[in-house]
Amino acid sequence: MTNEYYLQSNQAVIHKKPIPIQVVNVDYPRRSAAKITEAYYRRASTTDYNGIYKGRYIDFEAKETRNKTSFPLKNFHEHQLEHMQKCYEHGGICFVIIRFSTLNRVFLMDFSTIYKWWRQQFENDSRKSIPLENIISEGAEIHYGFSPRLPYLDVLDRMLTK
């Protein structure tokens, strides 16, 4: 809904990427209702969303956890971070939106911060998650609104001007 709002208000053009699946079997219980019963991923997908914002390419992932104290890094796939790294190296704006569902809190963290934590987990048996207090201090909270529902571009603007 937020991306639709941004598109309609001409603030940004951001779309959810389709998941590349190969449909194998479809059940047709009635003519107007088809149900996919078997499908496989054709290839690993990259990130959830991409588009253009203020003349720059934007690419981001949206993640969610029920955890109350940290965000598990296992929620990322290596190919997602490799994709964001390539986009970032070419001047793209890359970030992650993380929702703590049990706390009903949402944060935006830029790619370089996420990537730092990702690399750290492989060094000397380091943490396999990002503590909530670090997400609060290193990222930025996105407060729910009415329109748009999740005004992440406002938070992104503040982060980009730092």
**DSSP-derived secondary structure letter, 91:** T
38 labeled binding residue: no
61 is in an annotated binding site: yes
Question: Which has more pLDDT, 157 or 36?
Answer: 157
- Is 46 assigned a ligand-binding role in the annotation? yes
Give me the CATH number covering residue 149: 3.40.1350.10
Structurally, how many domains does the chain consist of? 1
Question: Where in the sequence is the domain holding 19, given as residue range(s)?
Answer: 2-161
Q: Check pLDDT > 70 for residue 143.
A: yes
Listed in sequence order, the residues at least 6 apart from 124 whose beta carbon sits closer than 8 Å to its beta carbon are none
| pLDDT tops 90 at residue 34 | no
pLDDT band at 20 (very low <50, low <70, confident <90, very high): low
In 3D, which of 83, 71, 160 has the Cα closest to residue 117? 71
* pLDDT of 16 higher than 90: no
Query: Which amino acid type is present at position 94?
Result: C
- Is the pLDDT assigned to residue 40 strictly greater than 70? no
